[in-house]
Structure 1
Amino acid sequence: MNALSPWIAAHLSRIPFTGPVLDVACGAGRHSLALCAREHRVIAIDKDTDTIAAHGHVPGLTILTADLEAAHWPFRPQSFAGIIVVNYLWRPLFPGLAKALQPGGVLLYDTFMRGNERFGRPRNPDFLLKPGELRQAFETSLETLDYFEGDVELPKPACRQMIAARKPLYPKVV
């Protein structure tokens, strides 16, 4: 199994233990398994869960099979202490992600952005964030803790955008 995303590894400790963590488009489950090893409860969701299910019973892990691009957002507001998204982009999920976080909950998002065409796939602009897009998508609902966009060398050369953001404990007063 691949190593953790360096961004996720650097920010994993920010996720509180106040509720479950959602791993969106979990793939083989590298982040889900790391969270379970830290004794988080994890809901891993993907449209193909065969690879993660092959790990057998993992304490604290619940696996859901769902195509989030074809269905409505299945989670209630304030359901999660943390949400992780890596190498996946479906913009219609952005509002649901923010709403699904509990107050104090943390979103860790790491995916490709425009400029990645120089390195390989994905190349389709529909699957590449625009400059500043992640920060703008969550700026009204979450507090940015850390943010990066640009070229990275690890785990392989790519152009990426990453955010660590927290849902405020109290609603913003307008």
Structure 2
Amino acid sequence: MLLSAPHGWGAPSAWLARWSHLVPAGGSVLDVACGAGRHMRWFADRGHVVTGVDRSPEAVDAASGFGRTLLADIESGPWPFAGQAFDAVVVTNYLWRPLLPDIVAAVAPGGVLLYETFAVGNETVGKPSRPDFLLQPGELLSASKELHVVAYEDGYLDEPARFVQRIAAVRPTGALLRHALKVDPPNQ
């Protein structure tokens, strides 16, 4: 009998793989709610220094082979990365709204946020179906307003059937911000 791989193992999210080239070479990556570490593995295999956090001891144990892991209940305890910044922050299939500001704040200048999770509509095709775990239209865009959005999608995907929002967004550096705002650098 062929057994399926435990949750979190297997191929990375297609969205994450598509936009992972935005992460600076050799940069640090934080995987929030990392599960067994499929995304940690993806980035470690590409030469990145990876950190994963999850509340499941089994998940943290499985992911520990790919980088630094931290066992923490980020929904009940303090955000363990306060004051730290990463070249990429990755979140898939996870939503805890009170953490959205902390997650976005953890993106370093020039770093990228790669986020993909379930959205309203998913209750019509499966789980999660509780509104607490489904993004409202435009919610991920609003949470990422201080970042430069490179790509964003909000809609339905097949196999498995699901409704998602996903974003790839970069924190502007001084030069990018000046360009975006069309502000000339000071004369020297």
Tell whether the structures are fold-level matches, with TM greater than 0.5: yes
Superposition deviation, residue 76 in structure 1: 3.5
Q: Distance in 2 between matches of 1:57 and 1:138?
A: 31
Residues 133 and 57 of structure 1, relative CA distance in 2, 3 Å threshold: closer
Is contact 2:118-2:163 (8 Å) kept?
A: yes
1:1-174 equivalences under 5 Å are: 1-17=9-25, 19-54=27-62, 57-58=65-66, 61-77=67-83, 79-139=85-145, 141-154=146-159, 156-170=160-174
1:54 aligns to what SS in structure 2?
helix
**Aligned pairs, how many?**
170
Unaligned ranges ≥5, structure 1: none
TM-score, normalised to structure 2, is 0.84
Q: Which amino acid aligns with 1:137?
A: A
Q: Which amino acid aligns with 2:161?
A: P
Superposition deviation, residue 19 in structure 1: 3.6
Superposition deviation, residue 52 in structure 1: 4.6
Superposition deviation, residue 143 in structure 1: 0.7
TM-score, normalised to structure 1, is 0.90
1:81 aligns to what SS in structure 2?
strand
Is contact 1:107-1:163 (8 Å) kept?
A: yes
Q: Which amino acid aligns with 2:152?
A: Y
Q: Distance in 2 between matches of 1:69 and 1:55?
A: 20
Per-residue Cα deviation, 1:138-167 (whole angstroms, up to 9, x for no partner): 11x11101000000114x110000000010
Structure showing greater radius of gyration is 2
With 62-71 and 75-84 compared, the bigger mean Cα shift is at 75-84
Per-residue Cα deviation, 1:56-111 (whole angstroms, up to 9, x for no partner): 644xx101000110112121335200000000001111111121111000000000
Residues 116 and 57 of structure 1, relative CA distance in 2, 3 Å threshold: closer
Q: Percent identity?
A: 43
1:97 aligns to what SS in structure 2?
helix
Residues 131 and 44 of structure 1, relative CA distance in 2, 3 Å threshold: same
1:94 aligns to what SS in structure 2?
helix
Unaligned ranges ≥5, structure 2: 1-8, 182-188
Q: Distance in 2 between matches of 1:113 and 1:134?
A: 10
